[in-house]
Amino acid sequence: MEKLAHLIILLMLTFFIQVVAQQADNQMVINADLGKFTINKHIYGHFSEHLGHCIYEGFWVGENSPIPNTRGIRNDVVEALKKLQIPNLRWPGGCFADEYHWMDGIGPRENRPKMINTHWGGVTEDNSFGTHEFMDLCEQLGCEPYITGNLGSGSVEEMSKWVEYLNSDAVSPMTELRKKNGREKPWNVKYWAVGNENWGCGGNMTPEFYSDQYRRYATYCRNYGNNRLVRVACGPAGSDYRWTETIMKNIRPGQMNAIALHYYTVLEWHQKGAATQFSEQEYFTTIQRCLFMDELLEKHTTIMDRYDPEKRVALYVDEWGTWWDVEPGTNPGFLYQQNTLRDALVAAISLNIFNNYCERVQMANIAQTVNVLQAMILTKDDKMTVTPTYHVFEMYKVHQDATMLPLDLKCKNYEFEGNKIPAVSASASKDKTGAIHISLTNVDPKNSQEITCELRGAKVSKVTGRILTASALNVHNTFEKPDAIMPAEFKGASLSNQVLRVKLPAKSIVVLTVN
């Protein structure tokens, strides 16, 4: 009997030690009174290119379509995106931008010249969706337009006149042309990228050559009236730190307002893998490469700090997201892929990283909004469904323009075949009402994570939450089953004496509100 009692005590002690150890491995401190930087709402921006069915059949169906529309723009897509509080939309590319000549896309549609979209599928671009249609779309969405000018195959004059056409209210040929085409007042577009991926599809330039071209083009992108342009220079591809170094050295902060980084979470460029059928090895590698964004931002911002310690030049991550093989039976040049819980986890982790780097990162644009790559929305004829990634953006919109709260996180690892990565990703913010929002992900597909979080500098008494998860990593929404994965109420958090305890289920995304 005595031996049995000792055995029970030993088992209880072992269990207690395991619990304490687990808690010690998953601890977080949020400094609710030390927030200094705002999470710019533009970090939650989007990207739309003349690629596949993003513009045509995604946004644009034309006024004569039986699909409900407003001046040719799909009503269902607009309403879905408005629920995200979409802050900006980047257009017309992407690679397409550096072969796009904007004057082909104005005036009566029947008179607009046609062209071949040489980058994406070799299809005919009829230019029925141009500048006025895009600006109408942005006005319907209530978002800022972000326009990419043609530096690759265009001219300084062409881009200069585009800025004038959109922004000038003075007596000029461009002002008169805009009025002739039906728009009396200027739109006052603020965000302008001077070229896109000019190290690649935008001209295969060296950073030295691009720097010279940028300064020339940016000089003639004029301010009109009270509108002040935000001029964005082409930044690096992934870990091309030399490109960042050269741009920062050769272009003064007063000549550019931001530099644009592009990075995609890809398994291998020559063999990307399927969107919905993947192994745990592929999943682990995907999350591993997603987490590389943190290193990229650390190293690029370190270079920027050396040349611009006052942080006058922002870092925009204006193309990011997952990239898989296209869905079977679709045009390889249309980049149409499904979107699963795996993609949602990538989105959540990426947004956590951007939030935590918000002192320098002021905009990000996921690729792409509708029917292309890591889309928010998929459409087919009159049908529409939102993706798991859409739900992440809807859950995370609470961070827009909130104060980022610094946090310290110590967590367990997700281990696979001798490799390991942090199991938990997090960011936190305080909104204008004083409510604290905490976004958490558990990337471990098999094990839950119990987290103890100390809230310093805050007096709170209530916690509520929402969760996005599914029975498997490859669960996705279809037109037949549009609600296969969607947010639900989360009841796995408790609050006592300013200490928050959270049990994160495996492969889950949780957003908590504490007040």
- pLDDT confidence of residue 132: 98
CA-nearest of 66, 31, 101 to 457 is 31
* pLDDT at residue 21 greater than cutoff 50: no
- pLDDT confidence of residue 10: 46
Residue 73 backbone phi and psi in degrees, to 5? -100, 130
Return d(Cα 274, Cα 474) in angstroms, integer.
10
CA distances from 490 to 372, 483, 496, 509 (A): 31, 17, 17, 10
pLDDT tens-digit profile of 238-267? Answer: 999 999 999 999 999 989 999 999 999 999
* pLDDT at residue 5 greater than cutoff 60: no
* pLDDT at residue 398 greater than cutoff 90: yes
pLDDT band at 491 (very low <50, low <70, confident <90, very high): very high
Class of domain 26-36+405-514: mainly beta
Beta strand pairing status for 361-367 and 45-47?
A: parallel
CA-nearest of 287, 350, 292 to 507 is 287
- pLDDT (average), residues 290-303: 98
CA-nearest of 151, 153, 170, 158 to 103 is 158
- Mean pLDDT score across all residues of the chain: 95
Q: What percent of the chain has pLDDT over 90?
A: 94
* Radius of gyration, CA atoms only, the chain: 24
Residue type at position 120: W
The full set of domain ranges for the chain reads: 26-36+405-514, 41-401
Catalytic residue chosen out of the listed positions 99, 125, 133, 319: 319
Query: Could you give the residue ranges of the DSSP H alpha helices within 379-429?
Result: 388-396
- pLDDT (average), residues 268-289: 96
Contacts of 84 (CB under 8 A, 6+ apart): 44, 376, 390, 393, 394, 397
Return d(Cα 150, Cα 140) in angstroms, integer.
25
Q: Please, what's the largest Cα pairwise distance for the chain?
A: 100
pTM of the model: 0.94
Does residue 2 have an active-site annotation? no
- pLDDT confidence of residue 4: 52
pLDDT band at 335 (very low <50, low <70, confident <90, very high): very high
- pLDDT confidence of residue 14: 44
Catalytic residue chosen out of the listed positions 133, 164, 197, 394: 197
- pLDDT (average), residues 31-42: 97
Q: Which CATH architecture has domain 41-401?
A: Alpha-Beta Barrel (3.20)
Q: Are 197 and 177 in contact (CB under 8 A)?
A: no
CA distances from 310 to 45, 161, 359, 407 (A): 25, 32, 11, 24
Query: Could you give the residue ranges of the DSSP H alpha helices within 168-279?
Result: 173-180, 207-219, 241-250
Tokens 């690759």, residue located: 152
Return d(Cα 237, Cα 367) in angstroms, integer.
15
Does residue 197 have an active-site annotation? yes
- pLDDT confidence of residue 232: 98
Beta bridge partner(s), residue 88 = 144
Q: Are 502 and 440 in contact (CB under 8 A)?
A: yes
pLDDT band at 325 (very low <50, low <70, confident <90, very high): very high
Q: Are 180 and 131 in contact (CB under 8 A)?
A: no
pLDDT tens-digit profile of 384-393? Answer: 999 999 999 9
- pLDDT (average), residues 482-492: 98
Residue type at position 317: V
* pLDDT at residue 188 greater than cutoff 70: yes
Return d(Cα 197, Cα 451) in angstroms, integer.
41
- pLDDT confidence of residue 23: 45
Least confident of 6-20, 397-411, 485-499: 6-20
Beta bridge partner(s), residue 504 = 449
CA distances from 409 to 15, 24, 424, 450 (A): 24, 11, 8, 13
CA-nearest of 222, 161, 159 to 196 is 159
* pLDDT at residue 35 greater than cutoff 60: yes
End-to-end CA distance of the chain: 51
- pLDDT confidence of residue 464: 98
Beta strand pairing status for 403-404 and 144-149?
A: unpaired
pLDDT band at 25 (very low <50, low <70, confident <90, very high): confident
Return d(Cα 261, Cα 319) in angstroms, integer.
7
Query: In the structure encoding, which two tokens stand for residue 170, read together?
Result: 């003075």
- pLDDT (average), residues 150-171: 97
322: enclosing H helix or E strand: strand 314-322
* pLDDT at residue 75 greater than cutoff 70: yes
DSSP 8-state symbol, 446: S
* pLDDT at residue 65 greater than cutoff 70: yes
Q: Are 325 and 265 in contact (CB under 8 A)?
A: no
Interior CA angle at 101 toward 96 and 107, to 5°?
A: 120
**How many residues does this entry show for the chain?**
515
Q: Are 221 and 151 in contact (CB under 8 A)?
A: no
Tokens 């990207």, residue located: 47
Q: Are 167 and 224 in contact (CB under 8 A)?
A: yes
Neighbours of 254 (CB within 10 A): 8
* pLDDT at residue 19 greater than cutoff 60: no
- pLDDT (average), residues 15-29: 60
